[in-house]
Amino acid sequence: MGARVRDARAAVRWGADYLLKAATQTPGALYVGVGDPDADHRCWERPEDMDTPRTVYAVSASAPGSDVAGETAAALAAASMVFKAADRAYSRRLLAAARDVLEFAVRNQGKYSDVVGGNIGAYYQSYSGYKDELLWGSAWLLWATKNSSYLGYLYSLGDSDSVDMFSWDNKLAGARVLLSRRALVNGDKTLEPFRQQAEDFFCRILPGSPSSTTRYTAGGLMHKSGYANLQYVASASFLLATYAKYMAVSKHTFSCGSLAVTPRSLRALAKKQVDYILGVNPQGMSYMVNFGARWPQRIHHRASSLPPVASHPGHIGCQEGFQSYFYSGAANPNVHTGAVVGGPDENDAFPDDRSDYARSEPTTYTNAPLVGCLAYLAGAYKS
């Protein structure tokens, strides 16, 4: 595992370096985005040909963005733990930045999409508000620092809303599962309310639970949304696997009405969802590109769908990209190995159509939780 751990650490550092620069480049500001979403969506270009405006957006005391700041603090705090033993100086820099960014988020509260301009709100709206990201950032800093001062702030947020999904926008379920670790594994009774809220989340997604609010397709896939549904499947599966681990260590079980819930049952559901994503489904299709015998050929991805510079050195403009390549029925020339698309509809059908972005677009927020779940399952089922 040594080389793989080094590779994983290098990948984390790549993202952490970017966030560190965004958080420390200008005192009192956090850079949160680059580009013009209207112009970018009007173009179908390769990265090498991109000529749309690269507008830079930032939040500050006068233009607050607690949601994106809380998320940044969480990422920096989590990354600091990855490097705690391998690179202590770097770990300390990340943790110091995480503290500063969370303090900035708490002191200057507001939604970034309300203030940054550039029509960001039309594309990347923070629908859930910012309290979930403040909880998320505080939860990660509590774990990274072991500083109990974050506990008081966690309780002051007072967010007891029930949720049945974990996503790029809404972090409540993830924060509650993370805080449950301390309640279950460390026996910290002060965090019991978060454990109860985490288990309420699971009762809302488990098949057979009387309080379930989650639909499953005939093929057995969790179905939460018509857009990029696999993001919700991957993130829920990651939380199922994570909580199963906490339960196993603490020998804990719980119930959803008459349904008994064990680590084994959570792990089994996570495995079933991941197996579906990887090809055990009515279509016999893996929704991860270049994995299995059959996988999406026409994913909604600019660099994948346009010819490489080596074979087409000339510039491909915005509209030429649409006319010659986006609307083409040909398979993508560049295989985006490992990318996971939005997935099938509520009837387990998948059109493999580049223009159907709701089902054919790969996203980082689908791949990210799936990687965590796959890592767990690879260890749990290694026999």
User: 3-state DSSP call for residue 140?
Assistant: helix
pLDDT band at 3 (very low <50, low <70, confident <90, very high): confident
Residue in the block written with tokens 């454990």: 195
Give the relative orientation of helices 131-145 and 66-82 as an angle to the nearest 10 degrees: 20
Residue 382 has pLDDT above 80, yes or no: no
Is 361 noted as a catalytic residue in this protein?
yes
Residue 158 has pLDDT above 80, yes or no: no
Question: What pLDDT, in 10s, does the model give residues 181-195?
Answer: 999 999 999 999 999
Domains of the chain: 1-117+124-159 (no CATH), 161-301+336-383 (1.50.10.10)
pLDDT band at 34 (very low <50, low <70, confident <90, very high): very high
Q: Quick one: average pLDDT of 62-90?
A: 98
pLDDT band at 271 (very low <50, low <70, confident <90, very high): very high
**Residue 273 C-beta-side C-alpha neighbours within 13 Å:** 31
pLDDT in the model for residue 2: 73
pLDDT in the model for residue 23: 98
How far apart (Å, rounded) are the C-alpha atoms in residues 383 and 378? 9
Residue 100 has pLDDT above 70, yes or no: yes
Residue 383 has pLDDT above 70, yes or no: no
Is 159 noted as a catalytic residue in this protein?
no
How far apart (Å, rounded) are the C-alpha atoms in residues 240 and 380? 13
pLDDT band at 152 (very low <50, low <70, confident <90, very high): confident
Report the candidate in 362, 354, 363 with the shortest Cα–Cα distance to residue 44. Answer: 354
Q: Both tokens of residue 126?
A: 């923070």
Q: What value does the CA radius of gyration of the chain take, rounded to a whole number of Å?
A: 21
Question: What pLDDT, in 10s, does the model give residues 305-361?
Answer: 999 999 999 999 999 999 999 999 999 999 999 999 999 999 999 999 999 999 999
Question: What pLDDT, in 10s, does the model give residues 228-254?
Answer: 999 999 999 999 999 999 999 999 999
How far apart (Å, rounded) are the C-alpha atoms in residues 37 and 51? 13
How far apart (Å, rounded) are the C-alpha atoms in residues 175 and 167? 11
Strand ranges inside the chain, DSSP E: 29-34, 56-60, 215-216, 222-223, 254-256, 259-261
pLDDT in the model for residue 1: 61
User: 3-state DSSP call for residue 188?
Assistant: coil
Residue 138 has pLDDT above 70, yes or no: yes
pLDDT in the model for residue 381: 83
User: What's the CA angle centered on 371, arms 191 and 20, to 5 degrees?
Assistant: 75
For residue 120, count other CB atoms closer than 10 A to its CB: 22
